[in-house]
Amino acid sequence: MFVQPGYDRLDREWAQYWAQGSVLYSMLGVNTSNFLNFDYSPANPIVLPNLASGATPVAPYPGFRRANQTDLKEPRVVQYSISVDRNVGWQTLLRFNYTGSFTENLIYSPDLNQVKPNTVGYAALVATPQLRQQNLRFPNFREVLTRDNGPVADYNALEVEVTRRFAPDLTFQNSYTLAYNRTNALGSAPNSFVPNGERGLDRSGDNGGNVLNYFDIRSDYGNAAFTHRHRFVSTFVYALPFGRNRHFLGNLDGVADKVAGGWQLTGITLLQTGPFLTPTFTGTDPSGTAPSSRSVSGFMRPDCVNGVDPLAPSPSRARWLNSAAFALPGNNIGRFGNCGVGIMVGPGTRNFSTSIGKRFNVNERVSVLYEAQISNLFNRTNLGIPNTQVGSSSFGRITSTQAAEQAGSRNIQMSLRISF
């Protein structure tokens, strides 16, 4: 049994450099006071202030980004694990391993100028300078984005591993992982590694995820998009029984043995469930906070219909998700949509890749290594992420395939390396 409380050194150092780098990045073009934009065109000339009447059009209010909290802390990670190994005989090793971690003080990017959800509507709350003074913390700005501590991440995984040596030249290793990774650090609609943007359309990843509701960041807590719930990996290494003193062609010698003997075959099988996805919509503003006009996010989460599975009855490339499971909320109803983060699952992965290779010893000083690698040997199509924007004509449709973890189309690669 091994328990490791407190900080993990590498995670701590990474968090420290990340936080410091973000602070330094913010020094580029930071605005230290209010400023106005004046755009001139023949159809839209600049109008100087009329001090007598005061009836002068007001220039657009600028946004302020990116400030840093003066008491910003480094994220803190607590890691723990328990492992049990058992030799069950027949040259078989069985291992149970539990790994967990809890991270707090993660960095995110709230809008300090957000109004609370309301039924009046954002436009009515900021219609005049007087109303802006009453309803906004910083009335001279549209949004005030900052980096601050707040989100958490909770990871728990159980792994079962079986390793068996069937013969001196054949070894199998099989592992199954059941993982739960929940966090509210990835923004409001995390369908990729990039926070707060459906499939990475938002470019705010280096600042931490924006949140739709600064007053309730817990509402963005859900399954992390990139952690698969179930994952099975099986690998084998097999020294082929050909060549001198082997089962087949054991009498070979000289050049013939150098060509036919000593080959090694390896293979890896991957079976896993798909990534967690989040439904999104655009257009209306149910919360009355205008997140899209405040540059926080154009993607919001809709309402979920109770008792209706978000997965289509017969998931396919044309219709992976069930549109009947969601409803688009109207404007200014005083709340955000009630759908959570990571409530849907995309297509899984099934893949087998292999390689075969051999080292040729030319003499005592020179050797040649040849290897052929074939990814996705059976050329199985692994579907990509479906369109998750509710209300879109292509909602639930899949138009891409996977490329990571050798899950793309079959690819053959050969290499030859000479060592001397």
The string of DSSP codes covering 77-93 is EEEEEEEEEEEEETTEE
Count of Cβ atoms closer than 10 Å to residue 320 Cβ = 26
Judge whether 417 lies within some domain. Answer: no
Judge whether 4 lies within some domain. Answer: no
Judge whether 257 lies within some domain. Answer: no
Q: From CA 109, how far away is CA 210, in angstroms rounded?
A: 5
Q: From CA 230, how far away is CA 179, in angstroms rounded?
A: 7
pLDDT for 295-328, tens place per residue? 666 788 999 999 999 999 999 999 999 999 999 9
Judge whether 297 lies within some domain. Answer: yes
Judge whether 122 lies within some domain. Answer: yes
Judge whether 174 lies within some domain. Answer: yes
Q: Which of 17-31, 163-177, 263-277, 394-408 has the lowest mean pLDDT?
A: 17-31
Judge whether 3 lies within some domain. Answer: no
Whole domain around residue 309: which residue ranges? 9-229+273-346
Please report how many Cα atoms fall inside a 13 Å half-sphere around the Cα of residue 229, on the Cβ side.
14
pLDDT for 263-289, tens place per residue? 899 999 999 999 999 999 988 999 999
What is the value of pTM for the model shown?
Answer: 0.80
Residues 36-41: contacts with CB under 8 Å, at least 24 apart = 36/62, 37/62
Helix (H) / strand (E) containing 404 = none
Judge whether 399 lies within some domain. Answer: no
Domains of the chain: total? 1
